Amino acid sequence: MDIDFFGETVSLTLIRPDDWHVHLRDGAMLRAVLPDTARRFARAIVMPNLKAPVRTVAEAHAYRERILAARPAGSDFEPLMTLYLTDNTTAAEIERARASRFVHAVKYYPAGATTNSDSGVTDIERCHDTLAAMEALGLPLLVHGEVTEASVDVFDREAVFIERILARVVARFPRLKVVLEHVTTEDGVAFVRAAPATVGATLTAHHLLLNRNALFRGGLRPHAYCLPVLKRERHRTALLEAATSGNPKFFLGTDSAPHARTAKEAACGCAGLYTAHAGIELYAEVFKAAGALDRLEGFASLHGPAFYGLAPNRDHITLIEESWPVPQAIDLASVGISDSLVPFRAGESVAFRIAGVDG
């Protein structure tokens, strides 16, 4: 990795990054958002929570074909597919997934935890045969780590999930690869650090940049609402420390999750922030502010492939510290949706931009 400080302007070239957690959606929305991810990231772990969840290898294959068909001309972006775990996912499906070469993980949404999670797992004990097959075959379990009980405070749901569920899964399946997705708390960071090397975590740029005050800055801010919800400052500080520590258990996962403006700006607004338009640039901001730009390449381009047993990318991306304005909205008319998408930092600016991507 090369970092040049020309006076105050930083330029850095790193191995091309991957996004280890993204929502690409389907149909017109897929066509609208895929170019942003494909420009920055060579590969991405694609979440399976479509309206009709991606439960089988056959469905993952069909979804993969739709993603490949939606790539911009000339793009060799590689979608790494996932299956949506249900109470009824069979060990045979896991064997098919492993044999497929294109399914790289299985996503565990507790039923009712978030967008399109109604078919999620009601009780992880029901999945023990499936988890045993994943452990035996080396297929990682990606965890949305929040309990769903209405009686548990929304800000405590990650910590309670770790204590009640995740700790048991990790103890029961010691060789199962587990990723605590979009970790948001110091409890989550501490758990992952103390766990065996089989346990990792992804970190979003927005949880590294914002604390929960962002939800209420001058009024209610639906575009800062995601799940797990933003947490208080001491948690953000713990995430920052984990991301910039050089510990290979922590790696990049944007959790970019597009919802049309009308679905966000509503009496019951959807959870999710769209960050793919600045998917690597925002992390560069975070690492620069922390004085840790030399650790960005490990976090963004090396730790994830190592965890998944894949080779790092061969090409490189160059970023320069030069501010650019983020539009107020991205019009979706060009893909046939009469709505828009409000990107992260809409109407504000991002401090790094891409100078080039090369082989």
- Where does the chain show beta strands of DSSP type E? 2-6, 9-15, 19-22, 43-46, 78-84, 103-108, 141-143, 178-180, 199-203, 250-252, 316-320, 324-325, 330-331, 340-341, 349-350, 353-358
Provide, rounded to whole angstroms, the least separation between the CB of residue 210 and Zn ion.
16
Closest by Cα among 58, 56, 69, 61 to 27: 69
Q: Count other Cβ atoms within 10 Å, centred on residue 196.
A: 13
Q: Which does 79 bind (CB under 5 to 8 A by kind): Zn ion, ligand DOR, none?
A: none
* Chain residue whose CB lies nearest Zn ion: 255
Residue 201: strand pairing partners: 180, 250
Least distance in angstroms from the C-beta of 295 to ligand DOR: 26
∠ CA 36-299-233, rounded to 5°: 90
The only residue of 18, 146, 255, 321 in contact with Zn ion, by rule CB under 5 A: 255
Q: 16, 21, 23, 64: which one contacts ligand DOR (CB under 6 A)?
A: 23
183 Cβ partners below 8 Å, 6+ apart? 145, 158, 189, 192, 201, 202, 203, 207, 239, 242
Count of residues that interact with ligand DOR, criterion CB under 6 A: 10
Query: Is residue 130 near ligand DOR by the rule CB under 6 A?
Result: no
x/- binding map, residues 270-289, to ligand DOR, per CB under 6 A?
-xx-----------------
Residue 272 site contact among ligand DOR, Zn ion, none (CB < 5 to 8 Å, cut-off depends on kind):
ligand DOR
Least distance between ligand DOR and beta carbon 194 (Å): 24
Catalytic residue among 19, 187, 255, 358: 255
Residue 19 as a binder of Zn ion (CB under 5 A): the answer is: no
Cis preceding linkage at 325, omega within 30 = no
Residue 10 or 121: the one with the smaller Cβ distance to Zn ion is 121
Using the minimum distance from each CB to ligand DOR, give the nearer residue, 26 or 95: 26
Compute the distance between CA of residue 321 and CA of residue 96 in angstroms, rounded to an integer: 45
Task: Return the one option of Zn ion, ligand DOR, none that residue 316 interacts with (CB less than 5 to 8 A, by type).
Answer: none
156 an active-site residue? Answer: no
Strands 78-84 vs 103-108: parallel, antiparallel or unpaired: parallel
Residues 127, 128, 129, 135: is their CA dihedral positive or negative?
Answer: positive
Asked if residue 257 binds ligand DOR (CB under 6 A), the reply is: yes
Quick one: how far is CA 71 from the chain centroid? 19
Q: Which of residues 97-126 bind ligand DOR (CB under 6 A)?
A: 114-115
Q: State in angstroms the smallest separation of the CB of 78 from ligand DOR.
A: 21
State in angstroms the smallest separation of the CB of 248 from Zn ion: 22
Strands 324-325 and 349-350: antiparallel
Q: Which of 44, 45, 134, 226 binds ligand DOR (CB under 6 A)?
A: 226
Backbone angles phi, psi at 6, to 5 degrees: -90, 95
Residue numbers at the binding site for ligand DOR (CB under 6 A): 23, 49, 114-115, 144, 226-227, 257, 271-272
Known catalytic residues?
255
